[in-house]
Amino acid sequence: MLAQVSGRGLGILILVGLFVLLFFVTLVVVVRQYKRCPSNRVLVIYGKIGGERTAKCMHGGGIFVVPLLQDFQYLSLEPITIDIELSSALSKKNIRVNVPSTFTIGISTQPDIMNNAAERLLGLQDRDIATQARDIILGQMRLVIATLSIEEINQDREKFLDLVNKNVNFELNKIGLEMINVNIRDIMDESGYIEALGQKAAAEAINQAEIDKSNALREGAIGTATANREKNVRVAEQTAQAAIGEKEAERDRRIKVAQYEAEGVSGEATAAREREIAVANQTAIAVQGKKQAEAEQRVKVASLEADAVSGENQSKASIADYEATLEERRAEAKRRGEVSMANAQRDVLLAERDREKARLEKEQIVLQEIERRKIEIDAEAEADRIRRIAQGQADATLAKYKAEAEGVQQVLMAKASGYENLLTICGDRKDIAPSLLIIEQLPQLVAEQVKAIQNLKIDKITVWDSGNGGEGNGAGGSTSQFLKGLIGSLPPIHELAQQAGIELPDVMGKVSQAKDTTTKPQANPQTPEA
């Protein structure tokens, strides 16, 4: 019996031990097969995962990997840097360019792109992934450059980088990668076209800078002059405003003082009248109370005496007397009260009359004072305006005369310098200097001679010829002789020179003495008729 019990207990212990062992084994398996994904990796579970997918990707979190049915690997999310030495890429205008750049790529964490990475990059080393990405980037870079001109690549970098991002990212996503950053280190061409564009831009920038500098200097000078002018104007305006403000403050002070004095006088009169009225009222009330007390005292005394001496009848008589006396006292008190009331009303009316009179006087005086000050201020402002206008006109006239004097002085100095140079050129022949000056003024002299007859209003000239064929030398000769005589009446140039004491050069000709011939009398001399 003991043996059976012992055998049964041993079996239970063995069974419990097996269950404990199984539990621990299951716990160890669960712990070992539960995989957690760190933040810098992607957990790829492959094998029997259900559905049509070949792998299941997770970024973060954890999952139980079924033993024998599933397995796992990690994909690193660390960035991969690739140097792209792109050379001889053909641009849109058939100009070959070199675009060295640096790309930073990595495995994407988007679900669809992670699945592409699990299918195409699982198990590859970083150098193998970089080789595949380099080939894709080179092809897409050449494709992008072929669609752009040199100007667009060099000047519109944002557009160039945007196209590179779109095309390269699209192709990298197919193998599970994404572009993190791109750095275009330089853009060069074999023909020197970009360098020529840079020199052109530099020259344009320098020219524009010179233009901007000149404009800035000009604007600065204009701004300085404008600021000085505005400063002078503002100073003058502020000075005028200060003077006006002082005058207005003085006017307001006087008005306020007058108002306060008038109000003080009116208030004092009102207070005195009210005090007198109150005293009169209180006096009347006190007298009335005193009389009433005296009357009551007498009535009481009379009543007691009548009761004591004469009895009831005497009391009645006393009462009658008391009533009569009381009525008299009441009538007297009423009369006094009415008199006091009438006097008080009279005083009130007098006080109101005085107050109204003071108010009217105050308003009239203040209005007159305001009007007088307004007239004074307007007169002062008008006088100041006239003075300023006169001062401005005087300054303008003075500036005008100064400018004219400076101009005349400059002209005279220029003429003096010219005359000095002329004398220096003439050397020892100082006598030819006046001749040269006369020659210089010859057109003006001829013009002055022409002015002598240019304003003659000649409608018609009729010449009566004597028929001698122009043999006569008088005014009655032919038409040509008439015109010759008309021109000869103008002052000759040689005579003007002789009058000035100047000898004209030989090129101006000499005046020969005319032959003294006697003109024959004409048969029918006629005076030219205009």
For 399-449, write each residue's pLDDT tens digit.
888 888 888 888 888 888 887 777 787 777 766 677 767 777 777 777 776
CB 374 within 8 A of CB 315: no
SS3 content of the chain, % helix, strand, coil (to 5): 70, 10, 20
Q: How far apart are the first and last CA of the chain?
A: 188
User: Lowest-confidence range among 54-68, 334-348, 424-438?
Assistant: 424-438
∠104-109-113 over CA atoms, to 5°? Answer: 90
CB 152 within 8 A of CB 159: yes
Count CB atoms within 10 A of the CB of residue 305: 13
Give residue 520's identity as a one-letter amino acid code: K
Q: Encoding tokens for residue 32?
A: 């070992």
The model's pLDDT over 223-232, given as tens digits with 9 standing for 90+, comes to 888 888 888 8
CA distance 321 to 319: 5
Q: For residue 523, give the 3-state DSSP assignment.
A: coil
* Nearest Cα to Cα of residue 57 among 77, 79, 75, 33: 75
CA distance 394 to 291: 93
CB 278 within 8 A of CB 341: no
Show Cβ contacts of residue 524 under 8 Å, excluding neighbours closer than 6 positions: 464, 466
pTM: 0.37
Q: Write the DSSP string, 153-186.
A: HHH-HHHHHHHHHHHHHHHHHTTTEEEEEEEE--
- Residue that the structure tokens 């004095």 belong to: 261
The model's pLDDT over 460-480, given as tens digits with 9 standing for 90+, comes to 556 555 555 544 454 445 555
* Nearest Cα to Cα of residue 387 among 251, 249, 243: 243
- Quote the mean pLDDT of the chain: 79
Q: Encoding tokens for residue 530?
A: 């205009």
Q: Encoding tokens for residue 318?
A: 């006393």
The model's pLDDT over 158-206, given as tens digits with 9 standing for 90+, comes to 888 999 999 999 999 999 999 999 998 888 887 777 777 777 777 888 8
